[in-house]
Amino acid sequence: GAVVSQHPSWVICKSGTSVKIECRSLDFQATTMFWYRQFPKQSLMLMATSNEGSKATYEQGVEKDKFLINHASLTLSTLTVTSAHPEDSSFYICSATRDRNYGYTFGSGTRLTVV
Amino acid sequence: KQEVTQIPAALSVPEGENLVLNCSFTDSAIYNLQWFRQDPGKGLTSLLLIQSSQREQTSGRLNASLDKSSGRSTLYIAASQPGDSATYLCAAHSGGYQKVTFGTGTKLQVIP
């Protein structure tokens, strides 16, 4: 149990366009999902906490107008990178948790390349 | 503020060797501690989850221990195999359950 599906696994887009990444919990309901960004050879950086039915909570330094998060249901959260630029190229990973007894389950990640 | 450190940053061992990865955290008020594996260009795969009330967890050749009082956790891998080559991350859940802090990882290479 506790499977999180993330799509797409990789995407290449032109500078100035927007890209949407989906994160789904397949076999459990997740009231909270998390979005991370990972730079090469570095650990994960939490970008925002996505709460079902309410606004996301962004970490300091993360532009909420740049990284739009929507958590419309208990099984789906989306991250939209708006007006993408080459510096937004990175590896984005989502995670979800059912409750404290189950820990965190991660998606397989999305490699975004902005050209 | 929770800080999580992993030592060593990189480790290379011959196949068949037993090895220990270390994780230390500064705030002992944790809910649980989780070990993950990350392959290049992939997401994180959960290996073991240790609740704050537990001392250790085992899964196959993996054994993770937790000592809250000293702020340490270890991941023991027995009879290492080339397929174990990956980056191993520990994560401490504290400061309100939804706050998780990751270590910087240990990159393991098992040489055939």
- C-alpha of B82 from chain center: 18
User: Torsions phi, psi of A47, nearest 5?
Assistant: -95, -50
Given this model, what pLDDT does residue A97 score?
A: 83
CA distance A23 to B91: 21
Q: Mean pLDDT throughout A28-51?
A: 88
CA distance B2 to B80: 31
Neighbours of A13 (CB within 10 A): 16
Cβ contacts from A onto B, under 8 A: 49
Instruction: Please list, in sequence order, all residues whose beta carbon lies within 8 angstroms of the beta carbon of residue B30, skipping any fewer than 6 positions away.
Output: B2, B52, B68, B92, B93, B94
The residue type found at A47 is M
CA distance A106 to A52: 17
Given this model, what pLDDT does residue A68 score?
A: 96
Query: pLDDT tens digits for A60-115?
Result: 999 999 999 998 888 999 999 999 999 999 999 999 987 767 788 899 999 999 99
Q: What residues in A contact B49, CB-CB < 8 Å? A: 102-103
Residue of B nearest to A32 (CA): B98
User: Which of residues 51 through 90 in chain A touch B, CB cutoff 8 A?
Assistant: none
CA distance A21 to A90: 13
Instruction: Please list, in sequence order, all residues whose beta carbon lies within 8 angstroms of the beta carbon of residue B96, skipping any fewer than 6 positions away.
Output: none
Residue B61 has pLDDT above 90, yes or no: yes
Query: Hey, are the CB atoms on B46 and A101 less than 8 Å from each other?
Result: no
Q: What residues in B contact A111, CB-CB < 8 Å? A: 41
Q: Nearest CA to CA, how far is A90 from chain B (Å)?
A: 11
State percent of chain A over pLDDT 70: 98
Residue B97 has pLDDT above 60, yes or no: no
Q: What residues in A contact B45, CB-CB < 8 Å? A: 106
Q: Which of A6, A103, A109 sits opposite B34 (nearest CB)?
A: A103
Q: Which two tokens stand for residue A104?
A: 């965190």
CA distance B96 to B112: 43
Confidence of residue B96 (pLDDT cuts 50, 70, 90): low
Residue A1 has pLDDT above 80, yes or no: no
Q: Nearest CA to CA, how far is B29 from chain A (Å)?
A: 14
More confident residue, B11 or A44: B11
What would the DSSP string read from start to end of chain A?
A: ---EEEE-SEEEE-TT--EEEEEEESSS--SEEEEEEE-TTS-EEEEEEEETTS--EEPTT--TTTEEEEEEETTEEEEEE-S--GGG-EEEEEEEES-TTT-EEE---EEEEE-
Q: What residues in A contact B44, CB-CB < 8 Å? A: 44, 93, 95, 106
Instruction: Please list, in sequence order, all residues whose beta carbon lies within 8 angstroms of the beta carbon of residue B71, skipping any fewer than 6 positions away.
Output: B24, B25, B26, B27, B28
